[in-house]
Each structure stands twice: as structure tokens, then as C-alpha cells.
Structure 1
């Protein structure tokens, strides 16, 4: 079996519908992907009260991260007059896609970035019949050796 061309295996674009237009966010370069991942990791550490690498945050501040993660879609959105909240939501969605995967990005997008709505989606999945554990206990195995009944204890003089 030979390796297939990677381009045939990966869906390397994100389609974001904004105001009736479908914008295509191309896959970022490796450098943008690595920087985005480092920034998201630093933000998670900071949110947990940990020590943050100031260089990581400084590097991200020096660059136009939204432009980088949106690629050519950034200029298209700006030219079309997309609002700042919409552009920001698209950029953060792209960051989630880069750092995690398309499923996580879709969940973020559909929750409008609201962590409370994301949490309720997770709770709904946990409580769904397909994702929840059965409340009926399974019976133990009835095959195999049977336990011997315990012998009645007798008292012995010491």
C-alpha cells in the first residue's frame, strides 16, 4: 500500500458564511499554525493562573494574527465591509480550527463564541442516548469457576 497524496486526505480550508457570503479560509502556513498553537496554549496557562511566556504573547502582539489566521479571506471581508464583531468571530473560529480541529471550530462558531452555550452543548452530548452510559447495570459473568461456599468457622481453644 502506498501513501496517498496528503492533499487528497486533508480538507485544508474552512468555509465561513457571513452576511450571505461564503468566505474560504485557507490552511495557514506551518509558522502561523505553530504561533497560533503557542498563543492558545499561553492563553490557557494564563487563564489557569499559571506563568505565561511573555515572548510568546509579545510575538503575537507584534503581528497581525487575525490577518494571518484568516489568510486571503481577511482582505475579502474587509473589502466587503464585514463588521468588526463578525471579522473577530471568524478569526477566533479560525484559531480554534488551527489549534484543535474543524469540529471544535464549528462548535465555537455555532455557539457564537459564548462559553456558556459551548458548555450546554457538551452537557447535551453527555446526556444524549448515544453518549450516555446506560443506567442498567450489566450482569456479571455466569461462566467460569464457581466460588466454594465458606466453611463454617469453629472456635478452637487457644
Structure 2
């Protein structure tokens, strides 16, 4: 069996649906992916203080005036996507490329869970459940 050229059927880019549109976050090269993996393992998902990482993965570059421009970030801004959604997309892309696509998908769907559920009470409840033996 001969292998087909991977480029003919495999899309490495991340497609994120927001308000009925698919935004494409291009896959980083190997050195950037390695840097992201180290960061995610050491620090987890970037907190709000690390906005630059989320913008960088979305293709934005900070200019001399401190303004971020470029990439899919510009597309989202032009489409009036609110900041929390843009930041969520960036954090998801960091997890997708820096950890696993499965973890990124869970983050995409469940990131707001902490606002909907008292996670401390849920954790305490789960700790009390004893497995069946």
C-alpha cells in the first residue's frame, strides 16, 4: 500500500466556529509548538494576565505603540466578535497545539462551567463518592 501525500487530505489548522462563521487558526511550526507544550505543562492554560500568548497564537503581532494587529485576530475584530470570545479562542488554540486537541475541545465547551457551577462544592461532593467494589 502506498501512502498518499499527507498534504492532500490532512488539514493541520484549527477551525473554530463563532457566531456561525469558521475562523482558522493556522498550525504553528515545530519550534513554536514545542514552546507551547512546555508552557502548558509548566503553567497550564494562560490566565488573563497572559493575553499576549492568546493573541500571538491568533496571528496578531504587537506594534511599537502596543497595538495588536494581524492574523485571524483582525478578522474577529472586523466581525465585531467580543473580547471574551476572542480570548477564549486564543486559549483554546494554545491548548490544541500545546497540549491535545481533546483537551482544547473540552476547554472550548466547558470553560464557562466554573461560572455556572460552584466547582468547590462539586469537587467536595465527588470526593465523597466511593467507587463500587
Same fold (TM over 0.5): yes
Query: For 1:78 and 1:38, how far apart are their aligned partners in 2?
Result: 29
Q: Does 1:32 align with 2:32?
A: yes
**Residue in 1 that maps onto 2:55:** 67
Residue 20 of structure 1, CA deviation = 2.5
Q: Superposition RMSD on alpha carbons, in Å? A: 3.1
List, as ranges, runs of 4+ consecutive aligned residues in structure 1 with deviation greater than 3 Å.
Answer: 1-4, 113-117
Structure 1 residues 114 and 8: CA distance shift in structure 2, 3 A: farther
Query: For 2:104 and 2:10, how far apart are their aligned partners in 1?
Result: 16
Structure 1 residues 36 and 108: CA distance shift in structure 2, 3 A: same
**Residue in 2 that maps onto 1:87:** 86
Q: Does 1:105 align with 2:104?
A: yes
Query: For 1:101 and 1:34, how far apart are their aligned partners in 2?
Result: 12
Structure 2 counterpart SS, 1:64: helix
Unaligned runs of 5+ in 2: 45-49, 60-70, 123-131
Q: Does 1:19 align with 2:31?
A: no
**Residue in 2 that maps onto 1:130:** none
The structure showing larger relative contact order (alpha-carbon pairs under 8 Å, at least 6 residues apart) is 2
Query: For 1:97 and 1:113, how far apart are their aligned partners in 2?
Result: 18
Unaligned runs of 5+ in 1: 45-60, 121-134, 136-158
Structure 2 counterpart SS, 1:82: coil
Structure 1 residues 43 and 12: CA distance shift in structure 2, 3 A: same
Bigger CA radius of gyration? 1
